[in-house]
Structure 1
Amino acid sequence: MLALASLSGAADADWARAGAPYADLALLGGIALDADSRGAARELVARGREEFLPDDPLAFVDAQLAALDDAPIRAGMNVRSATVAPIRETASICADHDAVLEINAHCRQDELCAVGCGETLLRDTERLAAFVAAAVDAGATVSVKVRAEVDGVALPATARALTDAGADVIHVDAMDSEPLIADVAAASDAFVLANNGVRDRATAWEYLAYGADGVSVGRPSDDPAVLERVARAVADWERRGRDAGRDGEVPG
């Protein structure tokens, strides 16, 4: 399975449609949902980063997903929040569109971490698991985007706890720790999506050999040449019949 990973301020419905010939899943966003995360996003914009800051983030999520209801790719929405209520509301919208709700426990910008989002959330497994449980209760297929190499975080144990809370997908930015994917896959029954540096057959197959169920492409996700190479690599791997017990599709 090939996914398109969210890119702040760029990953919208048009971006997803452009990648649809190559990928199976497009994770739009990220979208700041509550007052604290939106305040942090405004600070990021002030220092030159691209961010989605619609007046009504829930309406924006609904409209973006509705624009992909007839697209030949499954959609998902990567979201940031310091509080659980908007996670639950957004998960309900995602469920209505058969879309994946992806909780962002990945961003490392100081502004987001200061209000309890991103890596700060990743370091608080109990709180992150509560976010997952709320999204599951709302009926959504739930992914959690996490990052390797975060001090104090044992990612396999975190993945296990999130799976116990109901997460369907663990989306891992492996950083420079590609073998960690094997430990996460062994620790969790969730679908493991591997990210970071996926550009071609060699990089895709490395993650798949470590036990990932799929890979995602981040910054080059608007480059058809990269997407075509990775899509071909994933298809060739699946044809090899490796890990025959897994069908390569996100559950739900």
Structure 2
Amino acid sequence: MFTPPLALASLSGEADADWASAGADYAGAAFLGGIAIDDGSRAAARDLRDRDRTEFLPADPIAFIDRELAALEGTPIQPAFNVRSATSDPIPDAARVCRDRGALLELNAHCRQDELCAVGCGETLLRDSDRLRAYVDRAAATGVTVGVKVRAEVPGVELPALARDLEAAGAAFVHIDAMDTESIVRDVVDATGLFVIANNGVRDEATVREYVDYGADAVSVGRPSDNPVVLERVRDAVDRQFGLEPKPSN
């Protein structure tokens, strides 16, 4: 899906085209966003901003996705966009922009802030599998490559079973925030044919090796994704653990 199998994970209000371009020397993919694309999720994002979190709140979120992806044309990185929505209605519009720009679409079933969960997006979708499957189905119908960002350790949610359902609905990948249950990556790998991206605590050789041993197809870096020292260290580990040619020295 992308090479090297190292992704930059979305950072609310920070992961834009400039951020992705800055990491292109190290990563094979960059997940821009997340961005709220419907009225409910945008209201929640405004509440988050009011308590000093960074959020993308352009007047037109679909046009914003298009502009950011256009800015990455010619950049040697696979772009992707993480989107939040409390309804499925804007999903096809976001999907078509990503499709036409050669980007992946990532549906956010991951964020756990109270404001987002209260309107029915983010982690709430993990507990509403019918609605999440419908999101995937509507996106996949456009021809975009679609996947879902999920979180482990959510009570009542069996990720391997959910991942099978998402695959049946048309998902091509799943991006797993493993929390403190790294072995969940192996469970999802064993249960599906999805491309599995492992996230959480990826900082060095040991953490990359652990996820590779569990069968991950790629790993992602979140908070340190703007730190070239960390990215260089993780990229070197990815090259070794996945058996790739080392990155040429600058």
TM-score, length of structure 1 as denominator length: 0.94
Counterpart amino acid of 2:62? L
Aligned to 2:95: 91
**Aligned with 1:202 (options 178, 201, 206):** 206
Kindly indicate whether residue 188 of structure 2 is the aligned counterpart of residue 192 of structure 1. Answer: no
In structure 2, the residue corresponding to 1:95 is in which secondary structure? helix
Aligned to 2:7: 3
Q: Is 2:208–2:241's contact at 8 Å kept on the other side of the alignment?
A: no
In structure 2, the residue corresponding to 1:156 is in which secondary structure? helix
Deviation, 1:67, is: 0.5
Deviation, 1:119, is: 1.0
Inter-partner Cα distance in structure 1 for 2:209 and 2:141: 35
List aligned pairs for 1:149-188, cutoff 5 A: 149-188=153-192
Structure 1 vs Structure 2: percent identity of aligned residues? 63
Q: Which ranges in structure 1 are unaligned for 5 or more consecutive residues?
A: 242-252
Inter-partner Cα distance in structure 2 for 1:91 and 1:85: 11
Inter-partner Cα distance in structure 1 for 2:179 and 2:170: 25
Q: Which ranges in structure 2 are unaligned for 5 or more consecutive residues?
A: 246-250
Q: Is 2:185–2:211's contact at 8 Å kept on the other side of the alignment?
A: yes
Inter-partner Cα distance in structure 2 for 1:154 and 1:132: 18
Aligned to 1:248: none
Aligned to 2:215: 211
In structure 2, the residue corresponding to 1:231 is in which secondary structure? helix
Counterpart amino acid of 2:193? D
Deviation, 1:240, is: 7.6
Inter-partner Cα distance in structure 2 for 1:167 and 1:70: 26
In structure 1, the residue corresponding to 2:86 is in which secondary structure? coil
Comparing 23-32 with 80-89, greater Cα deviation is found at 80-89
Aligned to 2:73: 69
Q: RMSD of the TM alignment (CA)?
A: 1.0
**Aligned with 2:49 (options 40, 45, 51):** 45
Deviation, 1:221, is: 0.1
In structure 1, the residue corresponding to 2:66 is in which secondary structure? helix
Q: Is 2:199–2:219's contact at 8 Å kept on the other side of the alignment?
A: yes
Counterpart amino acid of 1:73? I
TM-score, length of structure 2 as denominator length: 0.95
Counterpart amino acid of 2:99? A
Aligned to 1:250: none
Deviation, 1:232, is: 1.0
**Aligned with 1:34 (options 10, 17, 38):** 38
Deviation, 1:237, is: 1.5
**Aligned with 2:130 (options 101, 119, 126):** 126
Deviation, 1:128, is: 0.3
**Aligned with 2:108 (options 79, 91, 104):** 104
